[in-house]
């Protein structure tokens, strides 16, 4: 098992973004009680990073109007890193007040997508991050700032996005005070070769501050792209239970990588995610029951885990130990 | 684009197996005229290797009873490599008589799956391949013999399958006279780490005679596994249009990797497949119209090709030329 030993470190993290990226792009409005149940069950299944919502005007995204309440609930779960999305300084102020552990500020590398989705140019978003950093520091808050560069592999409006421009914007976010940066294939334009190339460059630029890969499965390459990112050394990924999600301003874009399929990929390859996939599949069934009017995605739920699954993990662990001893 | 230049050669081949692996595992019996239309349209879309059927008793698989007629039709298309599956010497004699270019003899590395699916032990299949080789040579036929090792990553009946046993059986097939060998994840148990490891060893063992990777998308990892196989230097893959397929003796197994998604993966990464994906998607729509009672798979068809698609190919070509000149 040469491959496994190459892919150090052995720990990988899935951040659940179904409650934000997923729910914001579907019609069903999930009651707060159901969201709490989702967060609680995801936590019980071993998930330790959850994006619970977005601090945007309730008028714009009524699905996420209960974000402050959900942050409050999620903070009661020990060891859970509670993320929110904030589009601007106003949202960041709310996030800081809520006590969220991390706030993700989205920036779109595509100028056209940025104007359509955020009503700002990428440069204006960088300037906003500087203001958010100043506000965070002035408040004495410990809420981390993540600058998320979206449409990093192309965009349905503008088309081509230059990787050099993506890296330039990533660096600008760091310079403006972002604690973390991440890259997102918002509309499913990436392939594994593109991912490996850009993620290697991004990791080299941002080092430990490169935080997360966010892949949509719009054209079926979501998990192949995750694997390419793993090869580039990245081990934290966003995912949505049942693959719900998308972007309302990117026509044709369907859901994120499905959490359950991603957990299976990672665990099967010998990464420790801390996730109990059986519990995750049970939660998926519950969420599917709440979202009967929506198209769900993902593949593992149909067939279930392989018969070899626990055994193969044990084998992988043994193989690694053996290799480690002899190498 | 470091990755692209590492993945030489730049040509990749998709063998369409929808007419065999796909149709054998669904209830709908497609009329011969529709199958001819499918083959013709796949050829027009640029596909140059098609498995048109299986020489098994019509009583066992009535869906494939017209295989000889389809071989005859497919042979009329210039430059098309016409494959069939044969389970035994009787089938091979029919394949030789039909003038097929290649006959795939399936062997299951899982002893339990072999008995359930083929009613033979793996060793008995190896002996049958020796008889098939003798018959082929005696007939002065040029029909290639491919030994396909299935359940190479585990099996729903037996569970764990030892990679050493898979490689031993692959070697035994070569020794018995197979011209080509291939590996199949019949039930979707593989992950990219397993694939890369086994395919690297298989390629080292069989060299140019290692022919093909066959992946099912049962648990969502199909294309990630293809990418891992590409990294191991393998550039020929089986796939089913619309992801139809499976194995009637492997409970829970769903379809093969979808041809259209695989073509997108390969072309997007800069491999030349010769396939016009737009035409393939049009064919998919036609086939979907014939199979209205079946569950189809695949992802690309929902969103279509990226806006950047032709441009990105042009860019990749340019990048490669540049790299080639400076390296």
For the cut 50, the answer to whether the pLDDT of residue A180 exceeds it is: yes
Mutate to test the interface with B, among A8, A112, A186, A193 (most CBs of B within 10 A): A193
Full DSSP string of A18-52: IIIIIGGGSS----HHHHHHHHHHHHHTT--EEEE
Q: Are strands A49-54 and B144-150 parallel, antiparallel or unpaired?
A: unpaired
Residue B236 CB neighbours (<10 A): 18
Give the pLDDT band of residue A246 (cuts 50, 70, 90): low
Q: Residue B308 has what pLDDT?
A: 87
The predicted-structure confidence for A74-103, as pLDDT tens digits, reads as follows 999 999 999 999 999 999 999 999 999 999
pLDDT of residue A317: 39
Q: Is pLDDT at A297 greater than 60 in this prediction?
A: yes
Measure the N-to-C terminal CA separation of chain B; round to a whole number of Å: 13
Lowest-pLDDT range of A123-137, B41-55, B74-88, B294-308: B294-308
Instruction: Please report the pLDDT score of residue A175 as a whole number.
Output: 98
Going by the DSSP 8-state scheme, the letter that residue B152 receives in this structure is: B
Please tell me the distance from the alpha carbon of residue A241 to that of residue A258, in angstroms, as a whole number.
5
Cross-chain CB nearest to A300 (options B220, B227, B264):
B220
Q: How many other C-beta atoms lie within 10 A of the C-beta of residue A71?
A: 22
Give the A window 197-216 contacts with B, CB below 8 Å.
Answer: 197, 200
Q: Do A265 and B304 touch (CB under 8 A)?
A: no
Chain-chain contact of B227 with A224 (C-beta, under 8 angstroms): yes
From residue B7, alpha-carbon distances to A195, A304, B4, B235 in Å are 15, 33, 5, 9
Which residues of A carry out catalysis?
A: 247
Dihedral of alpha carbons B152, B156, B161, B163, sign: positive
Mean pLDDT of B79-91: 98
Contact A191 B2 (CB under 8 A): no
Whole-angstrom distance, CA of residue A259 vs CA of residue A301: 11
* pLDDT digits 0-9 by tens, B165-202: 999 999 999 999 999 999 999 989 999 999 999 999 99
Q: Do B196 and A3 touch (CB under 8 A)?
A: yes
Contact flag B221-A217 (C-beta cutoff 8 Å): no
Verify whether the Cβ–Cβ distance A252 to B304 is below 8 Å: yes
Closest-CA distance, A146 to chain B, in angstroms, reads 27
Question: Catalytic one among B155, B212, B240, B247?
Answer: B247
Residue A325 clears pLDDT 60, i.e. is over it = no
* ipTM given for this complex: 0.89
Q: Which of residues 258-297 of B touch A (CB under 8 A)?
A: 258, 261, 264-265, 268-270
Contact B195, B228 (CB under 8 A): yes
pLDDT recorded at residue B247: 54
Does residue A287 register a pLDDT over 50? yes
- Please report, for chain B, the start and end positions of each structural domain, with discontinuous segments joined by +: 2-326
Nearest to B308 among A159, A223, A300 (CB): A159
Residue A139 neighbours by CB under 8 Å, 6+ apart: A96
Cα separation, B97 vs B141, in Å, equals: 9
Interface test with B, best of A157, A224, A273 (most B CBs within 10 A): A224
Work out the burial of residue A321: count CB atoms within 10 Å of its CB; fewer than 13 is exposed, 13-18 middle, 19 or more buried. exposed
> Residue A245: pLDDT band by 50, 70, 90 thresholds?
confident
Give the pLDDT score at B249. 53
- Of the candidate CATH numbers 3.30.420.40, 2.40.30.10, 3.20.20.70, 3.20.20.80, the domain formed by A2-326 belongs to 3.20.20.70
Q: Considering Cα of B184, then B190, then B192, then B194, what sign does the dihedral take?
A: negative
CA B170 to chain centre: 16
Identify which of B267, B277, B195 has the alpha carbon closest to the alpha carbon of residue B231: B195
CB B155 within 8 A of CB B250: yes
The reported pLDDT for the residue numbered B27 is: 87
Mean pLDDT of B309-319: 49
The torsion angle over the Cα atoms of residues A68, A71, A75 and A80, rounded to 10 degrees, is: -170
Q: How far apart are CA A122 and CA A125, in angstroms?
A: 5
Distance between CA atoms of residues A75 and A97, nearest Å: 13
Between residues 108 and 167 of chain A, which touch chain B (CB distance below 8 Å)?
154-156, 159-160
CB-nearest to B4 from A1, A189, A193 is A193
């Amino acid at each position: 098992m040469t491959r496994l030993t190459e892919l150090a470190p052995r720990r990988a993290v899935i951040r659940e973004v179904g409650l934000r990226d997923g729910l914001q792009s579907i019609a069903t409005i999930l009651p707060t009680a159901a969201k709490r149940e989702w967060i609680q069950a995801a936590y019980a299944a071993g998930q330790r990073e959850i994006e619970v919502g977005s601090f945007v005007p309730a008028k714009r995204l009524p699905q996420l109007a209960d974000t402050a309440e959900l942050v409050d609930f999620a903070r009661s779960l020990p060891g859970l890193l509670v993320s929110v999305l904030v589009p601007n300084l106003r949202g960041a102020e709310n996030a800081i007040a809520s006590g969220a552990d991390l706030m993700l500020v989205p920036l779109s590398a595509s100028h056209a997508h940025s104007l359509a989705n955020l009503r700002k140019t990428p440069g204006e978003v960088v300037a906003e991050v500087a203001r958010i950093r100043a506000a965070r520091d002035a408040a004495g808050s410990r809420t981390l700032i993540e600058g998320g560069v979206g449409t990093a592999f192309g965009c349905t409006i503008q088309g081509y996005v230059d990787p050099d421009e993506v890296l330039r914007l990533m660096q600008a976010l760091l310079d403006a005070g972002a604690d973390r940066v991440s890259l997102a294939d918002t509309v499913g334009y990436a392939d594994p070769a593109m991912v490996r190339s850009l993620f290697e460059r991004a990791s080299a630029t941002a080092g430990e501050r490169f935080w997360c890969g966010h892949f949509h499965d719009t054209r079926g390459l979501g998990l192949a792209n995750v694997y390419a990112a793993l090869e580039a050394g990245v081990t934290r990924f966003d995912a949505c239970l049942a693959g719900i999600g998308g972007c309302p301003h990117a026509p044709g874009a369907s859901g994120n990588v499905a959490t359950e399929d991603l957990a299976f990929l990672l665990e099967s390859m010998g990464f420790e995610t801390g996730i109990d996939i059986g519990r995750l599949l049970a939660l998926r069934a519950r969420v599917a029951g709440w979202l009967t009017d929506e198209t769900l995605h993902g593949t593992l739920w149909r067939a279930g885990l392989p018969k070899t699954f626990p055994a193969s993990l044990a084998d992988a662990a043994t193989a690694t130990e053996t290799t480690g001893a002899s190498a």
